[in-house]
Amino acid sequence: MDWSTLAGYGPYVWGAYGVVALAVAAELLGLRLLRRHTGDALREARLLEELKRRERHSARGASR
């Protein structure tokens, strides 16, 4: 694509490019935050599962 040919277009064209660029950037940021939140929740669930397993194991040992 020859970007020099777009120099004559009005601000509405460049504004549209800007809006699309902002929308893409916002989507990428949202996905990154969601991935981080999902990873945190998964780590927490794994830790809780490990704690539950340890408590079950120690409860069995104490009842003997």
Cα angle for residues 14, 15, 16 (degrees, 5° grid): 90
Given this model, what pLDDT does residue 10 score?
78
Q: How far is CA 1 from CA 4, 6, 7, 8, 54, in A?
A: 9, 10, 13, 15, 61
User: Is 1 strand, coil or helix?
Assistant: coil
Above 70 in pLDDT, residue 64?
no
Is 0.85 surpassed by the pTM of this model?
A: no
Distance of CA 49 to the CA centre of its chain: 23
Q: Give 4's DSSP letter.
A: G
pLDDT, one tens digit per residue, over 19-51 is: 999 999 999 999 999 999 999 999 999 999 999
